[in-house]
Amino acid sequence: MYDLLFSNISKHIILDEREAAIVQSLFKPRVLRKRQYLLQAGDISRFENFVTKGLLRAYTVDRDGDEHIAMFAMEGWWISDMFSFLTETPATQHIDALEDSEVLHIEKPDLEKLYREVPKFDRFFRILLQNAFVANQQRVIASISETAEEQYLNFIRKYPTLEQRIPHHQIASYLGITPETISRIRKQRL
Amino acid sequence: MYDLLFSNISKHIILDEREAAIVQSLFKPRVLRKRQYLLQAGDISRFENFVTKGLLRAYTVDRDGDEHIAMFAMEGWWISDMFSFLTETPATQHIDALEDSEVLHIEKPDLEKLYREVPKFDRFFRILLQNAFVANQQRVIASISETAEEQYLNFIRKYPTLEQRIPHHQIASYLGITPETISRIRKQRL
DNA sequence: CGCGACGTTGATTTGCCTCAACGATTGTGG
DNA sequence: CCACAATCGTTGAGGCAAATCAACGTCGCG
């Protein structure tokens, strides 16, 4: 279960044994059943989570009760309500499991300790965040410039794995379109 | 002109004189006239740019020739086509000046040198990227869940300064709506 | 002074949403 | 273990927010 975390880390930085031991001591495993919350809006997001098994989502709920999915996270991905985590204010997002899942999580004080004792983790997360920034920027451009059909087809082209594992209406919620629209697109294109 | 850069940096990390001298030696000033390109799509984005004066925008142009603004950057903000910069592939975005502007830019090899000689810049950019990630995520949620009117009113509430300096049709292009729609919203709400 | 940039207003169109009804699975509590 | 309820997807009809298209006024600057 720590293997996936270490292989992920080693893509960007090299750890010696002492450093690996520190990582192992600071990240705690947690098991989640399908539909179980990892974080509820209103609570403070106290962890940064690395998914080792399964699939989670982060989403907001608007005043009409409609859900809008901010991100998915499957094996090897990270997830949190970063704003809440950084500012220690109540989360606006919920995070829950779409499948039975396992995560390794680190508390904020421990993450700060990690930065202090193994400064190269600043570099590691800097690189992850650069990639996340690019991905998010592309998503913004897509959402302001593409039709529903283009967005959906590009999504399943970009994330074929996710498309297999996620109900269509969740993809709709991620793209900001309705399940009916997805159904009609699929009818004529697939 | 370097003052703004240093005061920005010192919000997150502390530099000694040697380190400050390195920064000063690696960031080069550049002056841009209004409408001048800092980067054209197709070219490789070789710089990370810090705006010391004026106002720039990064945008894509779709097959219909319509522009979609990915980001604005005014004094104290950073701008680049990060994907192109990271991968050294041709940029998909244009960057140009909306006002007469000045930037401090750093080339990729020099940025790598900076990370090597002053590793705390990993931390500095990690923090910047965390903030950018949060901002981008909020923009995605807004764009998939809010009406044109909500998006526009929230934009001018969040960036009152920008609203003063930018023509309305540029804001429209940033939000993914039309100038006509903005005009009609303003007519009835302001 | 003339032209491009910018904004406004009106008429019309349209992509997608909303609402509603209905099968097919899935899963779960009695 | 089965019955009943969610969950998920599909299809059709109708409506609406925002886009499109078009025409026009103003400003500023090259």
DSSP codes, B174-185: HHT--HHHHHHH
First to last CA, chain A: 37
Tell me A105's DSSP state. Answer: E
Number of neighbouring beta carbons within 10 Å of residue A140: 22
**Cβ of A176 less than 7 A from strand D:** no
Q: What is the mean pLDDT of chain B?
A: 97
Q: A47 exposed, middle or buried (CB, 10 Å; 0-12, 13-18, 19+)? A: buried
Chain B residues whose beta carbon lies within 8 Å of the beta carbon of residue A115: 123
Number of neighbouring beta carbons within 10 Å of residue B111: 18
Question: Which are the contacts of A141, defined by CB distance < 8 A and separation ≥ 6?
Answer: B60, B68, B70
- The superfamily CATH assigns to domain A2-117 is Jelly Rolls (2.60.120.10)
DSSP string, B136-165: HHHHHHHHHHS-HHHHHHHHHHH-HHHHHH
**Cβ of B176 less than 7 A from strand D:** yes
Average pLDDT over residues A106-122: 98
Average pLDDT over residues B98-125: 97
Confidence check: pLDDT of A174 > 70:
yes
User: Higher confidence at residue B134 or residue A64?
Assistant: B134
pLDDT tens-place string over residues B143-184: 999 999 999 999 999 999 999 999 999 999 999 999 999 999
CA of A129, closest CA in chain B: separation in Å?
6
CA of B25, closest CA in chain A: separation in Å?
22
- What is the CATH code for B2-118? 2.60.120.10
In the prediction, which pLDDT does B36 show? 95
pLDDT tens-place string over residues B24-72: 999 999 999 999 999 999 999 999 999 999 999 999 999 888 999 999 9
Separation of alpha carbons A2 and A23, rounded Å: 9
**Following CA atoms A64, A70, A75, A77 in sequence, which dihedral angle do they give, to the nearest 10 degrees?**
-150
Instruction: Please report, as a single letter, which amino acid is at residue B140.
Output: V
Chain B residues whose beta carbon lies within 8 Å of the beta carbon of residue A120: 119, 122
- Best residue in B118, B124, B126, B170 for a mutation probing chain A (most A CBs within 10 Å): B126
CA–C1' gap, B188 and D25, in angstroms? 20
The residue with tokens 């809010």 is: B146
**Nearest nucleotide to A150 by CA–C1' distance?**
C15
Confidence check: pLDDT of A143 > 90:
yes
Beta-bridged to residue A43, according to DSSP, are A41
Number of neighbouring beta carbons within 10 Å of residue A7: 10
Separation of alpha carbons A113 and A50, rounded Å: 18
Give, for B112, the enclosing helix (H) or strand (E). helix B108-117
Tell me B73's DSSP state. Answer: E
Residues B179, B169: contact at Cβ < 8 Å? yes
In the prediction, which pLDDT does B189 show? 74
Compare CB distances from B129 to A60, A133, A145 and report the shortest one's residue.
A133
A170: pLDDT confidence band, cut at 50, 70 and 90? Answer: very high
B126, closest residue in chain A (CA to CA)? A126
A64, closest residue in chain B (CA to CA)? B145
Average pLDDT over residues A145-157: 97
Compare CB distances from B130 to A86, A141, A176 and report the shortest one's residue.
A86
Please say whether the dihedral angle defined by the alpha carbons of residues A114, A116, A118 and A124, taken in this order, is positive or negative: positive
CA of B133, closest CA in chain A: separation in Å?
6
In the prediction, which pLDDT does B1 show? 85
Confidence check: pLDDT of A95 > 80:
yes
A1: pLDDT confidence band, cut at 50, 70 and 90? Answer: confident
The residue with tokens 């989502």 is: A57
- The 10 Å CB-count burial string (b at 16+, else e) for B88-104 is eeebbbbbbbbeebbbb
How many A/B residue pairs have CB atoms within 8 Å? 100
Domain extent listing, chain B: 2-118
Residue A65's alpha-carbon distances to A43, A84, A89, A177, A181, in angstroms, are 18, 21, 22, 15, 20
Q: What is the mean pLDDT of chain A?
A: 97
Confidence check: pLDDT of B190 > 70:
no
A190: pLDDT confidence band, cut at 50, 70 and 90? Answer: low
A189: pLDDT confidence band, cut at 50, 70 and 90? Answer: confident
Chain A residues whose beta carbon lies within 8 Å of the beta carbon of residue B88: none
